[in-house]
A and B are shown apart, each in its own frame.
Chain A
Amino acid sequence: MAEIRLSGIGVSEGIRMGKAIRYAHGVQNQQFADIAEAGVAQELKRLAEAKEKSIQETEKLIEQAQQTVGTEKAGVIAAQKSILLDPTFCPEMEKLITKKLFSAEKAVEQIVKQVAAIFENMPNEYMRERAADVKDVGSRLLAALTGAKDINLADIREEVILIADDLAPTDTVQLNKKYVLAFATQKGGKTSHTAIFSKTLGIPAVIGIATGFDQVRDGDTVIVDGTGGICIIHPSEATIRSYSEKMAKESKAESAWQAYAAQEAVTQDGHRVEIGANIGTVADARYAVEQGAEGIGLLRTELIYMSEASLPDEETQFNVYKDIVRVMGDKPVIIRTLDIGGDKELPYLKIPKEMNPFLGYRAIRLCLDQKPLFVTQLRAILRASAYGRIRIMFPMISGIEEWRSARAIVEEVKGQLRAEGHVFDETIEVGIMVEVPSVAVMAAQFAREVDFFSIGTNDLVQYTLAVDRMNEKIDYLYDHFNPSILTLLHTVVQAAHAAGKFVGMCGGMAGDPKAVPLLLALGLDELSMSATAIRKVKHAVSQMELKQCNALLEAVLKMSTAQDIRLKVDAFCAENGI
């Protein structure tokens, strides 16, 4: 059979090859019959048993989800139990069985369709998405009714690659990493719960593959390349060979890096850089510690807001921050205040659509405008500071006035808490993200006032080069090795150090092993990255000699194109085994 290459969105890194197993969520497209009047009692009993079984399964899933993806995200599944118990859900099915002589299956199908349709027709996007929860509940009931026609994902006991139309969050949390090597789905977007869960679980995944899945049969050989966002069905001999090599390289590198998790990142000539992790949840924090994080360089608090249906209150936030700080022990945690807007939406905030969302009403601008929201978050952060080492960081600062306003609100909130008798870290450090070029240019002025900087390279590159990183036509222009970026980084680090201030980096560049020699030479005090990159970067640091990195930086700062710089850096890395 000919090889078929399907492209989708790679949401969780890694390459895996194995036997396909197709998974249809629930029982689909089946014709369900009516029953005779004598059968009513029997059908009611079957429905009641299916309901009971579903409730038990859902409770188990809630527990499982709390462990694998954290309490906040498990809330999605907890709502499904309420649906099962709802007086308009199962009782309506019972009516159809008694009055219209529907079989239990047909009754479930009918009511699920009706309820889902109501949600699907609601004007609010958040409410429309709840239709998926209703269908998920319906599928579980149907599976319980029809017996074990469904594969039970938690029961898979051989190595497989899961191929599915779609995976519900309840499916994803059941996956056992030992057996489910990877998965590919037809539906889903980059920010779907399934995508976020797969990353947290560390299962390579490609989602959003538009067509071609009907060609896969159980047992077919499939390659899922979560790094490249490709799924290959019936790979040719040549493809298998080249991918086997890639995988061998990947796993060799993996095991070589393994040893570095527990070590500090120190160059051959004794220069140390602190390695932190970028996280969003308590589960991420645990994983980060396992991977060798020496602190949290960036806690993206928007994930807490995004996993709720409405603004999370002070207690909810306080508990999350406190849990994370406790996981980290005496290691520092930089909490970034809400960074919403741009590509990150909060449906319940109802921010109007903008022509240029990245240049618009977002992050600190929104927080200064909606002060109560900002105050709630600062109160939660400050209260959590009694439990560990927290630093506060403001995103998207573009002028010194914004910094001063935000800083003043922190003082105001401290005053409130003091008056209420709350305990918090009185000397808490407050700093800013450097991601708008105006701040990088004026870094010396900022350095006099802030306690620390953290450079967010993703936005800094995008704003400096005027390149939308989501636009495929121009993404070749998006390059953190652009000389203008290196010059700005140099300015910022020099300014920070001249004022005796700490400067870290929490953008994508910090997790790029090839950028390591330049970042070391620039003098960054800390590099913070996704937890999966930590071992790679620690390994890279250990291979370097700072003296040589300094010479490399000196040469590179004189260059005028990103291409020249890349060539030079590539050669340097190759010499040093990166």
Chain B
Amino acid sequence: MIVVEGILQNKTGFHIRPAQLFMEKANEFKAGIRVKNAEGMEADGKSILGLMTMGFEYGSKIIIEADGDDEEPAAKALLDLVNSKFGEE
């Protein structure tokens, strides 16, 4: 298992579009993806509902755990997505 951490940098938080992009990216990998927040709440990274209900906002810490054959590229791709602000300003 591999664990990476990022900070959500989009001003608008984790709304439908980022959640959808994250879920789609997570589903490209075989590895199981868990997402946690600083308070220890967690959700399935392949679930748009789970992601949206985590209440991530601008500046929130987001912890990504990937577990499976392709865990390394999966964790990297998802962290890159977070760091790219999901293509927003």
Contact = CB atoms under 8 A, between A and B. Distances in A.
B20 A311 contact: no
A115 B49 contact: yes
Interface string B45-66: 0111110110101000000000
Interface in A285-314: 308-311, 313
Interface stretch (A20-28, A122-130, A271-279): A122-130
Interface stretch (A79-87, A214-222, A398-406): A79-87
A88 B15 contact: no
Contact of A311 (B12, B43, B50, B53): B12
Contact of A310 (B48, B50, B53, B88): B88
Contacts of B47: 86-89
A88 B10 CA distance: 25
Interface string B14-57: 01111010010000000000000000000110111110110101
Most A-side CB within 10 Å, residue of B16, B48, B53: B16
B13 interface: yes
Contact of A309 (B16, B48, B89): B16
Nearest to B24: A82
Most B-side CB within 10 Å, residue of A87, A124, A310, A348: A310
Contact of B50 (A88, A124, A126, A350): A88
Interface in A103-151: 115, 118-119, 122-124, 126-127, 130, 134
B87 A83 contact: no
Nearest to B15: A309
Contacts of B11: 311, 348, 350
30 contacts: A82-B23, A83-B48, A86-B48, A87-B44, A87-B46, A87-B47, A88-B47, A88-B49, A88-B50, A89-B47, A115-B53, A119-B52, A119-B53, A122-B53, A122-B55, A124-B13, A127-B52, A127-B55, A308-B17, A309-B12, A309-B15, A309-B16, A309-B17, A310-B10, A310-B88, A311-B11, A313-B87, A348-B11, A348-B12, A372-B89
Contacts of B49: 83, 86, 88-89, 115, 134
A465 interface: no
Contacts of B88: 310-311, 313
Contacts of B12: 309-311, 348
A562 interface: no
A376 B23 CA distance: 27
Given A311-B89, A372-B89, A126 B48 contact: no
Contacts of A79: 16, 20, 48
A373 interface: yes
Closest 8 CB pairs of A and B: A309-B15, A310-B12, A348-B12, A88-B47, A309-B16, A118-B53, A82-B48, A86-B49
Contacts of B15: 126-127, 309-310, 348
Contacts of A348: 11-13, 15
Nearest to B16: A309
Interface residues of A, number: 27
A531 B76 CA distance: 51
Contacts of B18: 310
Nearest to A75: B16
A204 B53 CA distance: 37
Nearest to A310: B12
Contacts of B20: 79, 82
Interface string A358-376: 0000000000000011001
A79 B43 CA distance: 19
Given A79-B48, A310-B17, A348-B11, 18 more contacts: A79-B20, A82-B23, A86-B47, A87-B44, A87-B46, A88-B43, A89-B47, A115-B49, A124-B57, A126-B15, A309-B12, A309-B16, A310-B13, A310-B18, A311-B11, A311-B12, A311-B88, A313-B87
A123 B13 CA distance: 12
Contacts of B43: 88
Contacts of A350: 11
B58 to A, nearest CB: 9
Contact of B55 (A83, A123, A311, A372): A123
A119 B48 CA distance: 13
A376 B89 contact: yes
A100 to B, nearest CB: 21
Nearest to B89: A372
Contacts of B52: 119, 127, 130
A33 to B, nearest CB: 27
A538 B10 CA distance: 48
Nearest to A126: B15
A86 B46 CA distance: 8
A293 B17 CA distance: 35
A470 to B, nearest CB: 28
A305 to B, nearest CB: 11
A372 B85 CA distance: 15
B49 to A, nearest CB: 5
A568 B46 CA distance: 68
B48 to A, nearest CB: 5
A225 to B, nearest CB: 36
Interface string A323-357: 00000000000000000000000001010000000
A372 B53 CA distance: 29
Contacts of A122: 53, 55
A311 B46 CA distance: 24
A88 B44 contact: yes
Nearest to A88: B47
A122 B52 CA distance: 10
A79 B88 CA distance: 19
